Amino acid sequence: MNPVHEGQAARRRGRLLTLEGVDGAGKSTHVDWVSERLRAAGLEVVTTREPGGTPLGERLRELVLHEAMGLETETLLMFAARCEHLRTVIEPALAAGQWVVCDRFTDATYAYQGGGRELGASRIAPLEQWVHAGLQPDRTWLFDVPLEVARERLGRARTPDRFERESDAFFERTRASYHARVAADPARFLVIDGELSIDAIRRLLDADIDRMRHAG
């Protein structure tokens, strides 16, 4: 290979892949599988989550998930954790050509704080613009299930955090906000029926990963 082309290939930017959905949709079941699938294809992968992803972000995560606070405080803490996450983990990985698999990202803030807690998208957009500096996921997989399915799954899970204890109306608003995000940017999203079997979901993810890899 020509040395110039070799250098360009080495600097090729990675991809940011995010998994989203209401609590109980099943997305977290597939995070590690997606990462291993990418590694098997010869890619360098960083697996992370939000809120969290850094030592500071993980401490903020504990506050957000378990401490009572005002809505504005909650939203600002989400973006504080995200700012640290982007600057110290996500952006360096992408610049190095690595693919980043993130369990939740800013779509979750629009859905949970903007929709579920009714802050509104217009209050979140300026924070996104400031913190993201133009960065958006290359692909977002939205795992979607009806409320009753999510509730039944959560009932079998761990002790619920303060989001998982929210009302049915909160979850319906959150789910609707996710779908509004899809409608606003359909090329970025793939909506996945979270009621499908794990194998069926992974076949969909596998096919989508192949499409992205071959798209260059």
- Closest residue by Cα to residue 43 from 141, 138, 131: 138
- pLDDT value of position 178: 98
CA distance 123 to 211: 35
- pLDDT value of position 24: 84
Residue 18, phi then psi, degrees to nearest 5: -120, 150
Global pTM value: 0.90
87: which residues sit within 8 A by CB, 6+ positions away? Answer: none
CA distance 162 to 147: 17
- Closest residue by Cα to residue 134 from 106, 114, 111: 106
pLDDT block averages, 10 residues each, the chain of length 216:
47 93 91 97 97 97 93 97 98 98 98 97 98 97 91 70 76 96 98 96 97 84
- What's the full length of the chain, in residues? 216
Domains by residue range for the chain, with CATH? 15-214 (3.40.50.300)
- pLDDT value of position 11: 64
Strands (E), the chain: 16-20, 45-49, 99-103, 139-144, 189-193
What is the token pair recorded at 106?
A: 């800013």
- pLDDT value of position 99: 98
CA distance 164 to 24: 9
